[in-house]
Amino acid sequence: MGLMASEKSGSDFPSCPAGTHVARCRWVVDIGTQEGQFGAKHQCIIGWELPHCLIVDGERKGEPYFLSTYYTMSLHEKANLRQDLEAWRGQDFTEEELDGFDLKTIAGVPCLLSVIHKEKKAGGKAARVGGVMALPSGTVCPDAVNPEIIWDFDKPDDNALDALPEWVQKKIKEAPEWGCDPNDPKEHTPPPADGDDIPF
């Protein structure tokens, strides 16, 4: 399982401005099998830091904005994860890569991130990832301000878990994989992925 390839805030980060931003991948987080609109799916959260786009007021003034989104861990041709990764890489997956792509390799990799604002049911607007694209030739992405966080059920890291916000830790601990032996495939096999991905 692991990282081989709804509005959900819960953090105190202010909403990121809409537009196209230079970004750097900061989170690659396996949240295990989660129940959702399309049934039980193995999911992950990918998050990006926007080093050119800084928060202008409040307790986090001067920090780069951060945005994350859920993906179903599927490289089916219709899956959001595959579509975004191919746009980010600027190339299709090879047949070999489709047999198993290690998501940990995208941590720290820069990209262009399209940020859109959507109306919330409770009023106001929330920032969402509209798309991920390859960084244009000649465009420089600054070094990361904050450290990368990789959490993988196959190689659990207490320090990485503690560095995640409470709402993400809660998601991880709600997964049936929590507390399972990562070396026992009988305890650690997610349901099969199909083409039904969770919309952004």
- pLDDT tens for 26-78 read 999 999 999 877 789 999 999 999 999 999 888 889 999 999 999 999 999 99
Residue with tokens 């994989």: 177
Q: How confident is the model at residue 193, as a pLDDT?
A: 43
Residues whose CB falls within 8 Å of the CB of residue 115, separated by 6 or more in sequence, listed in order: 16, 17, 18, 19, 20, 21, 67, 127, 128, 129, 130
Residue with tokens 């998050």: 47
Rounded CA gap, 129 and 112, in Å? 11
Q: Which neighbouring-strand residues pair with 150? A: 28
Q: How confident is the model at residue 3, as a pLDDT?
A: 66
Cβ burial of 104 (10 Å; 0-12, 13-18, 19+) is: middle
φ, ψ for residue 139 (rounded to 5)?
-85, 130
Is the distance from CB of 16 to CB of 128 less than 8 angstroms?
no
Distances (CA, A) of 2 to 5, 10, 109: 8, 24, 20
Secondary structure (3-state) at 143: coil
Q: Which neighbouring-strand residues pair with 103? A: none
161 Rama class: left (phi>0) / alpha (psi -120 to 50) / beta: alpha
What pTM was estimated for this model as a whole?
0.82
Q: How confident is the model at residue 182, as a pLDDT?
A: 56
- Average pLDDT, 10 consecutive residues per value, the chain (200 residues): 49 75 97 88 96 89 94 95 96 94 96 92 85 94 94 95 96 92 53 39
Burial 140-165 (b: 16+ CB within 10 A, else e): ebeebeeebbbbbbeebeeebeebbe
Q: How confident is the model at residue 122, as a pLDDT?
A: 77
Q: What is the dihedral of CA 71, 47, 21, 107, to 10 degrees?
A: -100
Rounded CA gap, 113 and 18, in Å? 10
Q: How confident is the model at residue 39, as a pLDDT?
A: 87
